[in-house]
Structure 1
Amino acid sequence: MGIVQTPNGFSLDNGGKRIVVDPVTRIEGHMRCEVNVDSNNVIRNAVSTGTMWRGLEVILKGRDPRDAWAFVERICGVCTGCHALTSVRAVEDALQIRIPKNAHLIREIMAKTLQVHDHIVHFYHLHALDWVNPVNALKADPQATSALQQAVSPRHAKSSPGYFRDVQTRLKKFVESGQLGIFKNGYWDNPAYKLSPEADLMAVTHYLEALDLQKDIVKIHTILGGKNPHPNYMVGGVPCAINMDGNGSSGAPLNMERLNFIRARIQEATAFVENVYLPDVLAIASFYKDWLYGGGLAATNVMDYGDYEKVPYDHSTCQLPGGVILNGNWNEVHPIDPRDPAQVQEFVAHSWYHYEDESKGLHPWDGVTQAKFELGANTKGTRTDIKELDEAAKYSWIKAPRWRGHAVEVGPLPRYILAYAQGVGYVKDQITESLGAFNALAGTNFTPQQALPTTIGRTLARALECQYCCTMMMDDWNALIANIKAGDTATANVEKWDPKTWPKEAKGVGTVAAPRGGLGHWIKIKDGKIDNYQCVVPTTWNGSPRDPKGNIGAFEASLLNTPMARPDEPVEILRTLHSFDPCLACSTHVMAPDGAELARVTVR
């Protein structure tokens, strides 16, 4: 390939040394990444590959639309609930069903519970170890760690020297036994790690605290949705009856005692986010103040559908408004319409699928999922043992979604860039305050346009959205209480539950601000059954391969021009890819058109 200039402005060079990371771990699903580094160990080419498949869109065909949420929710066990919510919204859009206010508020609390849980788990348990060295924490002075904790976040109650000494003792036993457990297989002597021993000990301590918090916050799902993961939803509302005079024995799970329990969990999460999570992100980032890499498409093209509506069915009330920014122009936000066949399209020129005309994309309502696994002429290895992929050919099970032909990044960072650009007051205040704190810690003077479109900015945006979701959740809780006190206890609208009331043909779309970005489900209904169903998920957008014009996706773009300390220990690759929190289980899908068996796995 040599040096290639892509239409979306990136220079690629597949010369030099090829580094293969397969699998990329600490993510949901199976992913492969290949990069080329030059003589200075700087990444000059990146190839992102989805290496797993699923068949839910095909499984859904011919089924009852009211059941779709229960199937698609199983796409992923991490972003639990967001596919179900997107599905019921798509069906309700198709059938013009309007849900009660209580149902809207309960759904919002459930969705934001997922955001808070997912963002905390992402940072501490999937991403923090790209920045934090737990082995180095053994060198820390607990007294100095306590002082650091009180300087970073004086309101956090757990900050005594004895507390940190106890954690350090536990960690030492892990290391000395040779059983590192959750900290095994890290590149702990890599110079890419920059934290002081005290900062490492503080972060590892909070890693353990987050394990406790994450199991408590999801109890909200068990009350409102019956269980977690995969809480229950229903077309027309929520399956959660209200009986303020009952104690649960009446069969109605929602009473004042349960509502107060939910409020307590929201308050606990809010305290953790504001006193631990957000301060940790800023403190850790200050040690990496020169690591302004990983922006990629975030610096130019971002997209989100918009979500967190105050008024159901009124997208103008989204507290994080949608839109598209192109070419880095934050002064112009293009409106987005997922119904427009010219806006959202999926391409397969470099994906293991087949279209009749692969130079063109298909809108999800007309989506086709037909497998075509073939390797390019320059692939090294075999079909069952690939050494290096040929990115000039087909190389991923992920399709390539585009907005009006443009590759875009989706996620909390795009949501925050779009909200900032559109003058959302709460978001502007958050960014101003957090960036001011970072600049004070790091001795820098970065602007939002400089700091946000980076790997660190992407990580910060998730923490800020987590904080915002806590605030919005408390507002939703108060609104729910007020509505119930006003005498409204309705949680479902079943006027159109009977398929006899449906039109012969209908189509709809549902969108959600999923933890990893803009999520959309498109459905076509015919004679009361699903005629076509397509999901275009955040990691499909971000992890997409090249399109027919050669535009690269967000994962690939984010890795370019990143220097690596030791290419054979790809900390920097993991650091940036983990900032997206890839979910390959969501993004890949394939089943043979005739239902033929594609593969058989025997477990002995």
Structure 2
Amino acid sequence: MNKRVVVDPITRIEGHLRIEAATDDAGKITDAYSSGTMVRGIETILKGRDPRDAWAFAQRICGVCTLVHGIASVRAVEDALQYEIPANAQIIRNLMIAAQYVHDHVMHFYHLHALDWVDVVSALKADPKATSALAQSISAWPKSSPGYFAETQKTLRNFVEGGQLGIFANGYWGHPEYRLPPEANLMAVAHYLEALSWQRDVVKLHAIFGGKNPHPNFLVGGAPSPISVGSGASAATALNIDGLNKVKDVITKMQAFVDQVYLPDTLAIAGFYKDWFARGEGLGNFLTYGDFPLKGHGGKESWMIPAGVILNRDLSTIHPIDLNAPGEIEEFVAHSWYDYSGGKEQGLHPYDGETNLHFTGPQPPYEQLDVANAYSWLKSPRWKGQAMEVGPLARVLMLYASGHEPTKQLAGMALGKLGLPLTAMFSTLGRTAARTLESKIVVDQMGTWYDELVANIRAGDLSVHNEALWDPSSWPGKAKGVGFMEAPRGALAHWIVIEDEKIANYQAVVPSTWNAGPRDEKGQTGAYEAALMDRHTLHDPKQPLEILRTIHSFDPCIACAVHVTDKDGEEMVQVKVR
């Protein structure tokens, strides 16, 4: 007899996500349903506005991968109006996106996902000397002395004995599926705390290039900060030698942490959970839009991460993708709380997309989703009618399949140390490992981009913005374009339609819509749902650690920045912090 396990909300994510899983008497998941339980309305807010201002609104769709919607938005306008942006601006954007990747992946591993594998309370039983020996055996990271781990253990003990675990509260500590020895748990807890401090330095790169973090500034046609060859107070508002030196320092710190902490920790932890390289795959279909243009406006062939589709695990064939072609990218709402003017059964290309709310079913709180009808505020994106997984695993597989040598070498090293075949990547832990490998690939590339930027400046090229089409009177009466990128969580694209200098339609198809969306009109599951139905058995339905492991491996980011207004657009409430 099937039983329904409800996890609501899924914690340690951004936004609101509900998972329901049907299990048999042995606890095996036989069916799964993913429900986004909040509305994203910024697309509707953008209609009628100046396209050059769209990024500032669209960027607020998410506050975690804080710059990606801004990048997608400016690229959409540039594509619609055929802006060519200067090489320096392209490099600056690459560096900002790359920094977001590494920052986001490290934060996900330690603060959102590691606690699915690390038993924090078990660390109290660790021997600091043995922990030091373990840490030094896998890395040259300087913070690895017995005294350092003893102090970390003391801090943790104060939390526990005080009855306030704080940031480590609400875990399933003691669950039999935790397998790390106490020393590995203590090492991971220490690095969890270090990562909190590390990120303070990393975000400086966005502040230097974009003025602030979160939500750095952008500009249609280039980068917002002019370049100055001076220094000091006279060039304080421009990118100068002082700022460039700080950027180099940030990149150095990022690379050291990835090489000496993040990558070794991933391999060390994964070694205790090799069976998780054989479950949680799901779809077997992977999609990327491509990112990191290597020159000018460029075509897809000039992007470091290539675009394409991999079907049924077949890495020998990369299928091309066209974001403008009717019938390729479509969104369906058969099981979503939306409606289309032509009926719920049709799919719409984003240029023709609609965001019409149509909530039906039981009002929350509810015991179970009405899965036979609508059960999510997320739509169901499809490529040529097929469900796709997007994200770091899709990108690493695409790089591997396209013959990217650094990816092949790195994947070979990691899988070799774990004694696993390439097919192990199609899994829950494969998804997690891909995020780590990608961080190494990207952070190594950052030094090259930095050197190119400095070389351009030394050669006298200070251009960061193209003003050729800044005058709207030169625009066509109607234009449309798509701005795409690879956000940390996967393929992201914004489609814009411009008429008479204003936004006529705007649609964003975000990574977690691809992965977390509900079934479509054919009953095809989304990536979350399919992954949970791939060899999962719950040890204890009241402590569904297995569900969290696989869902967190996607790094869910459902939506944020929901603004509450009345029908006239006025604020309904203000919250003041005293």
Alignment of 1:67-466 (within 5 A): 67-153=53-139, 155-297=140-282, 300-314=284-298, 315-355=300-340, 356-375=342-361, 382-439=362-419, 446-449=420-423, 451-466=424-439
Q: Decide whether aligned partners of structure 1 residues 158 and 557 sit closer, same or farther in structure 2, where only a CA change above 3 A counts.
A: same
How far 1:596 sits from its partner (Å)?
A: 8.2
Letter of the structure 2 residue corresponding to residue 488 of structure 1: D
Range that drifts further, 351-360 or 82-91: 351-360
Q: Decide whether aligned partners of structure 1 residues 603 and 496 sit closer, same or farther in structure 2, where only a CA change above 3 A counts.
A: closer
Q: Distance in 1 between matches of 2:356 and 2:180?
A: 48
Q: Distance in 2 between matches of 1:346 and 1:362?
A: 5
**Secondary structure, aligned partner of 2:235:** coil
Letter of the structure 2 residue corresponding to residue 302 of structure 1: F
| Structure 1 residue 550 corresponds to structure 2 residue 523 | yes
Query: Contact between 1:301 and 1:327, CA under 8 Å: does it hold in 2?
Result: yes
Give the aligned partner of residue 443 of structure 2.
470
CA displacement 1:212-240 (0-9 Å, x = unmatched): 11111010011100000000000010111
Q: Decide whether aligned partners of structure 1 residues 589 and 207 sit closer, same or farther in structure 2, where only a CA change above 3 A counts.
A: closer
Q: Decide whether aligned partners of structure 1 residues 260 and 590 sit closer, same or farther in structure 2, where only a CA change above 3 A counts.
A: closer
Query: Contact between 1:37 and 1:45, CA under 8 Å: does it hold in 2?
Result: yes
CA displacement 1:229-267 (0-9 Å, x = unmatched): 000000010111111123243354211121011101101
CA displacement 1:119-148 (0-9 Å, x = unmatched): 111110111100001100000011110111
Range that drifts further, 214-223 or 315-324: 315-324
Q: Distance in 2 between matches of 1:421 and 1:142?
A: 43
Q: Distance in 2 between matches of 1:128 and 1:111?
A: 24
| Structure 1 residue 524 corresponds to structure 2 residue 504 | no
CA displacement 1:35-54 (0-9 Å, x = unmatched): 01111111111010000012
How far 1:331 sits from its partner (Å)?
A: 1.2
**Secondary structure, aligned partner of 1:417:** helix
Q: Distance in 1 between matches of 2:509 and 2:409?
A: 32
Q: Decide whether aligned partners of structure 1 residues 302 and 366 sit closer, same or farther in structure 2, where only a CA change above 3 A counts.
A: same
Letter of the structure 1 residue corresponding to residue 114 of structure 2: A
Q: Distance in 1 between matches of 2:40 and 2:163?
A: 38
| Structure 1 residue 538 corresponds to structure 2 residue 511 | yes
Q: Decide whether aligned partners of structure 1 residues 137 and 251 sit closer, same or farther in structure 2, where only a CA change above 3 A counts.
A: closer
Letter of the structure 2 residue corresponding to residue 572 of structure 1: E
Query: Contact between 1:16 and 1:39, CA under 8 Å: does it hold in 2?
Result: yes
Query: Contact between 2:85 and 2:297, CA under 8 Å: does it hold in 1?
Result: no
How far 1:359 sits from its partner (Å)?
A: 2.1
**Secondary structure, aligned partner of 2:356:** coil
Query: Contact between 1:93 and 1:510, CA under 8 Å: does it hold in 2?
Result: yes
Give the aligned partner of residue 32 of structure 1.
18
| Structure 1 residue 563 corresponds to structure 2 residue 511 | no
Alignment of 1:44-55 (within 5 A): 44-55=30-41
CA displacement 1:7-33 (0-9 Å, x = unmatched): xxxxxxxx5111000100100000100
Unaligned runs of 5+ in 2: none
Q: Distance in 1 between matches of 2:74 and 2:417?
A: 41
Query: Contact between 1:248 and 1:254, CA under 8 Å: does it hold in 2?
Result: no
CA displacement 1:311-366 (0-9 Å, x = unmatched): 13222022221110112222111001111121100000000011223222000000
Q: Distance in 2 between matches of 1:333 and 1:84?
A: 29
Q: Decide whether aligned partners of structure 1 residues 600 and 584 sit closer, same or farther in structure 2, where only a CA change above 3 A counts.
A: farther
Query: Contact between 2:293 and 2:303, CA under 8 Å: does it hold in 1?
Result: yes
Count of equivalent residues: 573
Q: Distance in 1 between matches of 2:80 and 2:481?
A: 4
How far 1:602 sits from its partner (Å)?
A: 9.5
Q: Decide whether aligned partners of structure 1 residues 589 and 542 sit closer, same or farther in structure 2, where only a CA change above 3 A counts.
A: farther
**Secondary structure, aligned partner of 1:178:** coil
**Secondary structure, aligned partner of 1:287:** coil
Q: Root-mean-square deviation (CA), in Å?
A: 2.0
Q: Which runs of 4+ in 1 moved over 4 A?
A: 588-592, 594-597, 599-604
Query: Contact between 2:231 and 2:242, CA under 8 Å: does it hold in 1?
Result: no
Query: Contact between 2:84 and 2:221, CA under 8 Å: does it hold in 1?
Result: yes
CA displacement 1:540-599 (0-9 Å, x = unmatched): 00001000001000000111130111111011111111111111106x99999x9689x9
Letter of the structure 1 residue corresponding to residue 162 of structure 2: S
How far 1:111 sits from its partner (Å)?
A: 0.7
Give the aligned partner of residue 558 of structure 2.
584
Query: Contact between 2:564 and 2:572, CA under 8 Å: does it hold in 1?
Result: no
CA displacement 1:400-438 (0-9 Å, x = unmatched): 000000000000001111111111111111100111122
Q: Distance in 2 between matches of 1:287 and 1:596?
A: 56
Q: Decide whether aligned partners of structure 1 residues 267 and 174 sit closer, same or farther in structure 2, where only a CA change above 3 A counts.
A: same
Range that drifts further, 385-394 or 140-149: 385-394
How far 1:601 sits from its partner (Å)?
A: 8.0
Q: Decide whether aligned partners of structure 1 residues 248 and 81 sit closer, same or farther in structure 2, where only a CA change above 3 A counts.
A: farther
Q: Decide whether aligned partners of structure 1 residues 596 and 297 sit closer, same or farther in structure 2, where only a CA change above 3 A counts.
A: farther
Q: Distance in 2 between matches of 1:260 and 1:277?
A: 24
**Secondary structure, aligned partner of 1:291:** helix
CA displacement 1:434-459 (0-9 Å, x = unmatched): 111222xxxxxx2111x111111101
Query: Contact between 1:246 and 1:252, CA under 8 Å: does it hold in 2?
Result: no
Q: Distance in 2 between matches of 1:91 and 1:525?
A: 9
Q: Distance in 2 between matches of 1:591 and 1:218?
A: 29
Query: Contact between 1:53 and 1:590, CA under 8 Å: does it hold in 2?
Result: no
Q: Distance in 2 between matches of 1:54 and 1:397?
A: 8
Query: Contact between 1:370 and 1:591, CA under 8 Å: does it hold in 2?
Result: no
Q: Distance in 1 between matches of 2:545 and 2:236?
A: 51
Q: Distance in 1 between matches of 2:487 and 2:275?
A: 30
Letter of the structure 2 residue corresponding to residue 113 of structure 1: A
**Secondary structure, aligned partner of 2:20:** strand
Letter of the structure 1 residue corresponding to residue 417 of structure 2: A
Unaligned runs of 5+ in 1: 1-14, 376-381, 440-445
Letter of the structure 2 residue corresponding to residue 295 of structure 1: G
**Secondary structure, aligned partner of 2:114:** helix
**Secondary structure, aligned partner of 1:409:** coil
How far 1:86 sits from its partner (Å)?
A: 0.6
Alignment of 1:504-515 (within 5 A): 504-515=477-488
Query: Contact between 2:10 and 2:18, CA under 8 Å: does it hold in 1?
Result: yes
Give the aligned partner of residue 443 of structure 1.
none
Q: Distance in 2 between matches of 1:213 and 1:602?
A: 33
Calculate percent identity across the aligned residue pairs.
53
Query: Contact between 1:370 and 1:590, CA under 8 Å: does it hold in 2?
Result: no
